[in-house]
Amino acid sequence: VTRDLSALLSPHSIAVVGASPRPDSIGGAILRNLIRCDYPGALYPVNPKYASVEDLPCCASVDTLPTGVDLVIVVVNKDLVLDVVERCGKKGIRNFVIITAGFKETGEEGFKREEALKDLTQKYDLNVVGPNCMGIINSSPELPMNASFSRWFPKEGSIVFISQSGSVGETVLEFFAEIDLGVSLFINLGNRAGISENDLLGYLSQDKRTRVVFLYLESFADPVEFRLLVERIGPERPVVVLKAGRTPAGAAAVASHTGSLASPEAVVDAFLKQSGVIRVSSIEELLHALRALEWGAVPRGRRVVVLTNAGGAGIMTADACERVGIEIPPLPKDIQKKLSSFLPAEAGLGNPVDMIATAGSSDYERALEITLPVVDAAIVIFRPPIVLDEPVEKVAEGILRVAEKAKFSSKPVLSCSLSHGEVANRFSGRLAREKLPVFTMPEAAVDALAILCRLGALWEGKGTDATLVKGDRDHALRVIERVEREGRFALSFGEGTDLLLAYGISVCPFAYVENFAEAKAFFDKMGGALVAKVDRPGLFHRYEHGAVITGVSTHKALEEAIGRLSELVSREALRGGKILLQPNLSGRELIFGMNRDPSFGPVLMFGVGGTLVEALKDVSFGVAPVSFDQGMDMVRAIRAFPLLEAFRGQPAVDLPRLADVLQRLSQLVLDLPMIEEIDLNPFIAGEQDAAVDILIKLEKR
Amino acid sequence: VTRDLSALLSPHSIAVVGASPRPDSIGGAILRNLIRCDYPGALYPVNPKYASVEDLPCCASVDTLPTGVDLVIVVVNKDLVLDVVERCGKKGIRNFVIITAGFKETGEEGFKREEALKDLTQKYDLNVVGPNCMGIINSSPELPMNASFSRWFPKEGSIVFISQSGSVGETVLEFFAEIDLGVSLFINLGNRAGISENDLLGYLSQDKRTRVVFLYLESFADPVEFRLLVERIGPERPVVVLKAGRTPAGAAAVASHTGSLASPEAVVDAFLKQSGVIRVSSIEELLHALRALEWGAVPRGRRVVVLTNAGGAGIMTADACERVGIEIPPLPKDIQKKLSSFLPAEAGLGNPVDMIATAGSSDYERALEITLPVVDAAIVIFRPPIVLDEPVEKVAEGILRVAEKAKFSSKPVLSCSLSHGEVANRFSGRLAREKLPVFTMPEAAVDALAILCRLGALWEGKGTDATLVKGDRDHALRVIERVEREGRFALSFGEGTDLLLAYGISVCPFAYVENFAEAKAFFDKMGGALVAKVDRPGLFHRYEHGAVITGVSTHKALEEAIGRLSELVSREALRGGKILLQPNLSGRELIFGMNRDPSFGPVLMFGVGGTLVEALKDVSFGVAPVSFDQGMDMVRAIRAFPLLEAFRGQPAVDLPRLADVLQRLSQLVLDLPMIEEIDLNPFIAGEQDAAVDILIKLEKR
C-alpha cells in the first residue's frame, strides 16, 4: 500500500510548534528557514510565550490553530511531544515532522515515549517524520519549503535525498551546494517512528521529477519491502545507497558452515547488489557518482579511451582503471593512423593517447571524435599548459560538442584538469555549466566511470526472473510434520533427500542397510566403490567419530565396514544412527547452504567445498528470492571460480546447473519457513550433480 | 660512489642558455623565475640575438661565459644541445639542467642524440639533469633557486621531491602549495640521461635538512641500487613512492609456475615493500600521507579511538577503518565511566565515542586525554554545530594540547571537520597552523592513519638480516659445470638435490632404480608406500605422460610399477628418463620458485601447491636478497595462509622453517646467476619438510 505523502512533502500550510524569536531556538531557526526560502503557503508559529514570532502572529496552543493545517513541525520539549501530537491528531491534522530528540536513542524512558508515539501514529493514521530529525526540504520552485534547521537550501534538481542521519544529511547538502548538484527533496528520517525510506520510495516511484534517489542508511526499516521497491524504481532511475555501519563478522556459535560463514557485511553487500542498488562507500564516492549520473550517459561496456596532454597523468589514469577493472584497450591501427595525421610526432598513439602539452581544442575534439567509436567511454585530461594560443574554454567546448553527440550512443565523457588554478577552473566551469562530469584528479573520474559501468551492467542484465521454479510444497510439508511429530529438529539424510527431490534438487543414490546382505545387494547394484557412513539426524563432524569409511571397493571391505559401523551405532555417542551407503561420486566438491538472517530472511550460500571453504571463507551469498541470473552471479563471485572452469583435464562444471540449484533452494526455503539451516556439503558437480551430505535443521518453536 | 651534487643543487652562479625576452620563451620563463625567487648568485643569460635579457647583460655564446659558472640551464633547440654541452664541458663547467626535449622520447634520431649526450657526460664527468625536463628548485632561504619553468615556487620545508615526470611534478607542486606543504628540493629527472633518482638519494642520505623523500617514478634507473639506498635512508626518514605504470600481467610463455605467475606489478609491490618504501597510489593519497608525516608521530600499533560530535560520521569512520584493517577496540569500562562523568546521557560511550552536537572544547580535550592512553592513535571529528557557546578555535586548541603531549608517546591525532565552510575552516586552520593533520573527510584521515601505521610497522620490524645463510657454492658450481658440459640446460632430480642440499634445503629421500631388485631394496629400507616416477631433466607435465605412480604399497604393485615405467622410458617421448622412487611424504603441499626479472633480478615465489596455486594464482613474491623476516612476510602474504595454521587435526606448519627455505633459496640464486628458473613443486611441509619435485633450468648462453 503506497501512502499518499503529497500533503507532507508539499504542504500548503505549516505550523511550527515551539517557534521562538530566540536566536538559539531550533524552532525559530526552522521558521526563519521557511520564511527565507519564500515558502508561499500559510505559516503558523505556535508558542504560548509570544504574541508573534518573526512578525507572524503566534498561536498560544495547537488547539487554536485553524483547521486544515497540512503539516505540523514539532520542536517542543520531549515531555510535551505526545500531547501536541494527540491534540493535533484529534483536530484532523495528519502530517508531522518531529524534530525533538529524547526518544528511543536515549534509553528505557525514551524508548517508551517512542512506543507511545507509534501508538498515536496508528490511532490517528498519521504521517510522522522523525522524531530526532532535522526536518524536510522541498526545493521545487512552485512550493519551496525548508522545513528543517539545515543551513543549506539546495537548488532545484532531480535528486531525492533520504538520510537516516541528520549530521550526514547536513554534510552532504553542503557538498551538493559546493559542486552545484540540485535536489528535489531532502528528508531526514531520524528515528523512523513513522515514515520510513520504504514509504518514501513507494510514493516517489510515481514521481516523474525524480531522476536519481540517494539514500544514506545505517539500517533497513524492512529489507524485503526495500528490495521490492528498488526493483521497481531501479531499472529506470538509479538508486544510490551509502549504507554505513559495517558489522564485523559475527561470532555466534552455529552448527552449519553457512551460519558460521555468513558475515553480516557480505550479506548486506549481496542484498544491495541483488536489489539493483548502486552502493557507494563514502561521501566522496557519492559525489563522484551523482556528478556522473547527472550527465545521463550510461555505458554499455567497460572499455575506455584516455586522452591527455600530460603523460604522467595518463599513466596514473591507466593504473586507476586497472585497479577497478576498467579496460584501456590498445587503439586499432587505422585509428592510430588517423590520430597521427594531426598530432605531433612526439605524441603517444597507444591508449592513453598522449597528445603532449601543445594540444589545443581542435586536437581534443578530433581525437575524441576519432577514438570514441571504438570504446564505451572516454576520460579526457586537460591540464592547462604554460602556453596555449586559445582560451581554455575553447578546449572545453570542443570536448562538449563530441560528448553531446556521444550521449545518444550512451558513451559518457568524463574530464579532469589536475589543477584548482584559475585557468583550470575556467575550463572545468565551462564543462560543469553543461553538466558534463569534470573532476580535478583522474582517480575521481575513474571512480565515477566505474559507477556508471556498474549501472550499465545492471541495466544490461536481464533482471530477476519472475517465473520461479515450483516445488512440491505439500509433500515437503508432510515430511517436516513427520519429523516434528517425533520431537526432532533435524532431518535424516533420507528425509532431506525427500525434501530436496520435491524441489528438483538431485541427491546422490543411497541405501540404508542393517546388515551385510543388504549392503551387498546395493554394492552389486551400484557396481563400484562405495562410501559407508553413519547417518543420524543432526549429526555433525561425522569424521571425528570415525563414522565415514571411503573407498569400499570389495565385498570383504564392505563386510568389514558394516561391522565397524554397526559397532559404532551401538555406542552411546552415535546411538540411533543408521548405516548409509552411497556410491563414490567424483567431481568438484561444492557447498550450498542457507541460514536465516533476522532482518534479511533466508540467506543462501555457495562455495567450493573441502578445506578451502573453511580456511579461506571463500563463499558468496544471496538473499532469497534468488533468481537464475543472481544464482549465476553467486557462482561467479567466489574467488575460487577458476577451479570450476575446465581445469587439469577435468571438464568445466555445468554452471547453469549450479545456478538452477540455487534458485530451487531459494524457492524451497521461501516455501518452508520452519527450516532454519541447510548445508549441502559436499555437493558434487561432475557427470551427475548431487548432494552427498544433507543437513537440514528446523526452527525450535 | 656518492656524487657530490652540491654545486648542481646549490649553485653560486647560473647561466641560462637560450634565455629570451619573448613571453612564450621557456628560457625566458626560467630566467624570470630565477629573478623572481631572489636567487642571490650570479645570473648569465646566453643568447646571440640579444644584448640583454631581463636587464641582465647577455652573453652571445657559452664561450664568452666567465669561468667558474656552477650550473648551466640549456633551453636551446635540440640540434644545438650537444654543441652547447661540449663547449661548456671544455670550459670546465660540470653541472647541467637540460630542458630541451627531442631526445630518446622521440624515435631513432632522438635516441642517438641522447646516446651522444651520455657520451659527453662520461667524457667530461658531468652532472646532467634531463634532458626533456622542467628543471630543479631549491627553496632554502640561504640560496633560493627556481631553475625551472614551473609556475610554483614552493615554500621552504623538509620534503625532497624527485619526479620523473614534469607534468606530475607541476601538479603535485600546485597541491603542495594548496595545503601549505613545504619543500626543500624539487628535481624533475626527465629522460634521466645523467642524474638518476639513485644519485640524488645517495647525495641526500647525508643531508640533515631532508625529513621526507617523495619520488614519483614510472620506472627504476637501477632497482638494486635503489633498494640499498632506501634501506640506508628509510629507517630514519620516510621514503614515499608513487610508482605509476602498472603493467598488466605478462603473457610470456614460460615453463615454470614461478615464471607464469610472476606479474610485474606484484613484483614491483613486493620489491618496494622489501625496500622499506611507503608506496602510495595516487596524488591524493600522497597528500594525505605527507600531511600526516609532517606532524611526526608514528604509531606503534593499529588501535584507534574515534571521537565525534556527529554520529553518522563516526560510523563512516569506523567503516573506513575496518576496510583498511585499523582496529576500533571497544573502550574499557573504567574509561567509559570516566567519559560518562562529563558527557551527556545521550552520548555514545562505545568506540566511536559519540559526544553529540553539544560537545565543546573541554569535552574534546578531556575525552581525548582519557581515551588516548588505551589506544595507539585518535581520529577526532569536529563538525561545527549550529550552536556552540565558544569559538571553534577553542576546540582546536583543546585537541592540540593533548596531541602535543601524545606526540612524545608516538600517538598521532588526526582531525576532520566534514565541511569547507568558513567556521570549519577556522577550526582546521588553527590545527594546520601547528601542522596537526586535519582533513575534510574521515576517509582521508583513515587513509593517512593507515600510512602512518604502515610506517610504524616498518620501523618496528627488525629490518633485513645482514648475516645471510651461507651455502657450499663451489660444490654447486661443480654440479652445474657437469650439466653444462653435457650440453644440457636442465638438471635432473639428483642434480637438483645436490644443489639444494649444498644450501641446506632438505629434499625427499629417493633412489634411482633400474630394475625390480633395486626397487625392492629401497622399498624395504623405507618401509612404507612409495611413489614411482620417471625423472628426466627438463621434463614437465609428468602426470600427462602417466609417468607418476602413487601409493605403491606392496611388492607386487612395485613390480608392476617398475614394469610400466620401464616401458615408458623406452618410448620416444620419455627416452633417457630414469625411474625414481620416493617415499610418500604427507603434509601440506607448498610451492617455492624463482625466476629472473630483467630489471629486478632473482624473484622468489611462495604459495600453497596443488590446484590452488594454478587456478587462483595465490602466490607471494620477494626480490632477492630475501631476509628471514621478509621470508616470514612472504609466507604470511598468501591468501591461503589459514591453511598453514593448525587445521582439521593437522598441526600448524613450522613457519620459520619455510622462511628459512626462502632465505636459503635466495642465497642460492644470488650465488649462482646461471640458474634461470627454479620450481620446488610440491615442497611438502609435514613432520619433515622436503622438496619432492625439483625443476632447475639454466640460462642458455
pLDDT one-digit tens code per residue, B645-691: 887 677 889 999 999 999 999 999 999 999 999 999 899 998 889 99
- Write down the mean pLDDT value for chain B: 91
Query: Tens digit of pLDDT for each residue in B49-104?
Result: 999 999 999 999 999 999 899 999 999 999 999 999 999 999 999 999 999 999 98
Measured distance CA(B513)–CA(A479) in Å, rounded: 62
Cross-strand pairs, A678: A594, A696
Mean pLDDT of A266-284: 92
The C-alpha cell that represents B289 in the structure block: 600521507
With 0-12 / 13-18 / 19 or more C-beta atoms within 10 angstroms meaning exposed / middle / buried, residue A641 is middle
- Cα angle value A186/A189/A190 (rounded, 5°): 130
Measured distance CA(B301)–CA(B456) in Å, rounded: 7
The C-alpha cell that represents A79 in the structure block: 515531555
* Chain A touched by B642 (CB under 8 Å): yes
Which is it for strands A239-243 and A156-163: parallel, antiparallel or unpaired?
A: unpaired
Q: Look at residue B617 and give its three-state secondary structure.
A: coil
Taking each helix axis from N to C end, the angle separating B283-295 and B166-178, rounded to the nearest 10 degrees, works out to 50
Which of A245, A357, A611 is facing B643, going by the closest CB pair? A611
* Chain A touched by B179 (CB under 8 Å): no
pLDDT band at A247 (very low <50, low <70, confident <90, very high): low
Are A671 and A473 a contacting pair, CB within 8 Å?
yes
* Chain B touched by A151 (CB under 8 Å): yes
Between A599 and B176, the higher pLDDT residue: B176
Predicted local confidence at residue B685, as pLDDT: 93
Predicted local confidence at residue A254, as pLDDT: 37
* Chain B touched by A457 (CB under 8 Å): no
Question: Looking at beta carbons, which residues of chain A come within 8 Å of B310?
Answer: 165, 167-168, 171
Task: Return the residue of B nearest to A328 by Cα.
Answer: B248
Query: Tens digit of pLDDT for each residue in B347-404?
Result: 889 899 999 989 999 999 999 999 999 999 999 999 998 878 899 999 999 999 999 9
Question: Looking at beta carbons, which residues of chain B come within 8 Å of A318?
Answer: 245-246
Query: Tens digit of pLDDT for each residue in B418-442?
Result: 999 999 999 999 999 999 999 999 9
What predicted TM-score, i.e. pTM, was given to this entire model? 0.89
The C-alpha cell that represents A247 in the structure block: 558489522
Predicted local confidence at residue B460, as pLDDT: 82
* Chain A touched by B648 (CB under 8 Å): yes
Q: Do B282 and A387 touch (CB under 8 A)?
A: no
Predicted local confidence at residue A91, as pLDDT: 94
Q: In sequence order, which residues have a C-beta less than 8 Å from that of residue B110 and are 6 or more positions away?
A: B78, B102, B103, B104
DSSP B637-700: HSTTGGGGSSBTTBPPP-HHHHHHHHHHHHHHHHH-TTEEEEEEEEEEEESSEEESSEEEEE--
Measured distance CA(A579)–CA(A582) in Å, rounded: 10
Predicted local confidence at residue B106, as pLDDT: 81
Sign of CA dihedral B30, B31, B34, B40: positive
* Chain B touched by A255 (CB under 8 Å): no
Cross-strand pairs, B680: B592, B694
Rounded to an integer, what is the distance from CA B187 to the centroid of its chain? Answer: 20
Query: Tens digit of pLDDT for each residue in A34-75?
Result: 999 999 999 999 999 999 999 999 999 999 999 899 999 999
The C-alpha cell that represents A165 in the structure block: 542521519
Rounded to an integer, what is the distance from CA B18 to the centroid of its chain? Answer: 39
Predicted local confidence at residue B462, as pLDDT: 58
Measured distance CA(B506)–CA(B499) in Å, rounded: 10
Residue tagged 532454519 (cell numbers): A676
Residue in B59, B62, B136 with CA at minimum distance from that of residue B92: B62
Cross-strand pairs, A677: A595, A697
Question: Looking at beta carbons, which residues of chain A come within 8 Å of B149?
Answer: 386
* Chain A touched by B541 (CB under 8 Å): no
Which is it for strands A239-243 and B377-381: parallel, antiparallel or unpaired?
A: unpaired
How many Å lie between the alpha carbon of B672 and the closest alpha carbon of chain A?
A: 33
Are B158 and B176 a contacting pair, CB within 8 Å?
no
Which of B107, B316, B318 is facing A282, going by the closest CB pair? B316
Predicted local confidence at residue B23, as pLDDT: 87
* Chain A touched by B615 (CB under 8 Å): yes
Task: Return the residue of B nearest to A105 by Cα.
Answer: B346
Are A413 and A399 a contacting pair, CB within 8 Å?
yes
Measured distance CA(A612)–CA(B643) in Å, rounded: 8
- DSSP, res A647: B
Predicted local confidence at residue B261, as pLDDT: 55
Measured distance CA(B682)–CA(B592) in Å, rounded: 8
The C-alpha cell that represents A184 in the structure block: 528535489
Mean pLDDT of A167-195: 94
Tell whether the model's pLDDT for residue A246 goes beyond 80: no
Measured distance CA(A575)–CA(B460) in Å, rounded: 56
Are A98 and A131 a contacting pair, CB within 8 Å?
yes
> Which phi and psi angles does A686 have, rounded to 5°?
-145, -135
Question: Looking at beta carbons, which residues of chain B come within 8 Å of A101?
Answer: 346
Tell whether the model's pLDDT for residue B252 goes beyond 70: no
Mean pLDDT of A5-33: 95
Task: Return the residue of A nearest to B246 by Cα.
Answer: A319
Mean pLDDT of A140-161: 94
* Chain B touched by A318 (CB under 8 Å): yes
pLDDT band at B174 (very low <50, low <70, confident <90, very high): very high
Residue A583 to residues A440, A510, A526, A529, B237, Cα–Cα distance (Å): 64, 7, 7, 6, 65
DSSP B257-272: HHHHH--HHHHHHHHH
pLDDT band at B613 (very low <50, low <70, confident <90, very high): low
* Chain A touched by B611 (CB under 8 Å): yes
Tell whether the model's pLDDT for residue A140 goes beyond 90: yes
Q: In sequence order, which residues have a C-beta less than 8 Å from that of residue B697 and are 6 or more positions away?
A: B255, B256, B489, B490, B491, B538, B675, B676, B677, B678
Measured distance CA(B164)–CA(B221) in Å, rounded: 10
Predicted local confidence at residue B469, as pLDDT: 85
Mean pLDDT of A615-630: 88
Which of A138-167 are b and which e, b meaning 16 or more Cβ less than 10 Å from the residue's Cβ? bbeeeebbbbbbbbbbbeebbbbbbbbbbb
pLDDT band at B463 (very low <50, low <70, confident <90, very high): low
How many Å lie between the alpha carbon of A100 and the closest alpha carbon of chain B?
A: 13
Give the H/E segment covering residue A552: strand A548-552
How many Å lie between the alpha carbon of B352 and the closest alpha carbon of chain A?
A: 11
Residue in A177, A428, A148, A287 with CA at minimum distance from that of residue B421: A177
Are A609 and A653 a contacting pair, CB within 8 Å?
no
With 0-12 / 13-18 / 19 or more C-beta atoms within 10 angstroms meaning exposed / middle / buried, residue A99 is buried
Mean pLDDT of B582-605: 91
Residue B168 to residues A150, A579, B180, Cα–Cα distance (Å): 40, 72, 18
pLDDT band at B251 (very low <50, low <70, confident <90, very high): very low
- Whether ipTM > 0.90 holds is no
Are A181 and A159 a contacting pair, CB within 8 Å?
yes
Q: Among residues of chain A, what percentage have pLDDT more than 90?
A: 76
In B91-110, the residues whose Cβ lies within 8 Å of chain A are 101-102, 105-107
Give the range among A309-318, A339-348, A537-546 with minimum mean pLDDT.
A537-546
* Chain A touched by B382 (CB under 8 Å): no
Residue tagged 594548496 (cell numbers): B178
Mean pLDDT of A682-692: 91
- DSSP, res A610: T
Predicted local confidence at residue A612, as pLDDT: 63
Chain A / chain B CB contacts < 8 angstroms: 161
Query: Tens digit of pLDDT for each residue in B536-567?
Result: 887 766 666 778 998 899 999 999 999 999 99
Give the H/E segment covering residue B137: strand B135-138
Question: Any alpha helices (H) in B184-332, and if so which ranges?
Answer: 197-204, 223-233, 257-261, 264-275, 283-295, 311-324
Predicted local confidence at residue B253, as pLDDT: 34
Mean pLDDT of A66-91: 96
Residue tagged 531556538 (cell numbers): A25
Rg of chain A over CA atoms, in angstroms? Answer: 32
How many Cβ atoms are within 10 Å of A648's Cβ, its own excluded?
11
pLDDT band at A262 (very low <50, low <70, confident <90, very high): low
> Which phi and psi angles does B594 have, rounded to 5°?
-150, 135
- DSSP, res A106: G
Predicted local confidence at residue A466, as pLDDT: 54
pLDDT band at A257 (very low <50, low <70, confident <90, very high): very low
Measured distance CA(A360)–CA(A674) in Å, rounded: 69
Residue in B147, B6, B15, B26 with CA at minimum distance from that of residue B72: B15
Q: Do B171 and A419 touch (CB under 8 A)?
A: yes
The C-alpha cell that represents A265 in the structure block: 557485511
Are B674 and B480 a contacting pair, CB within 8 Å?
yes
Query: Tens digit of pLDDT for each residue in A465-521?
Result: 656 788 999 999 999 999 999 999 999 999 999 999 999 999 999 999 999 999 999
Predicted local confidence at residue A251, as pLDDT: 31
CA dihedral B345, B346, B347, B350 (to 10 degrees): 90
Give the range among A573-577, B30-34, B299-303, B451-455 with minimum mean pLDDT.
A573-577
Predicted local confidence at residue A117, as pLDDT: 98
Q: Among residues of chain A, what percentage have pLDDT more than 70?
A: 95
pLDDT band at A541 (very low <50, low <70, confident <90, very high): low
Question: Looking at beta carbons, which residues of chain B come within 8 Å of A615?
Answer: 640, 642-643, 647
Query: Tens digit of pLDDT for each residue in A293-323?
Result: 999 899 999 999 999 999 899 999 999 998 8
Q: Do B319 and A174 touch (CB under 8 A)?
A: no
Tell whether the model's pLDDT for residue B190 goes beyond 50: yes
pLDDT band at A253 (very low <50, low <70, confident <90, very high): very low
Q: Do A615 and B642 touch (CB under 8 A)?
A: yes
Predicted local confidence at residue A575, as pLDDT: 81
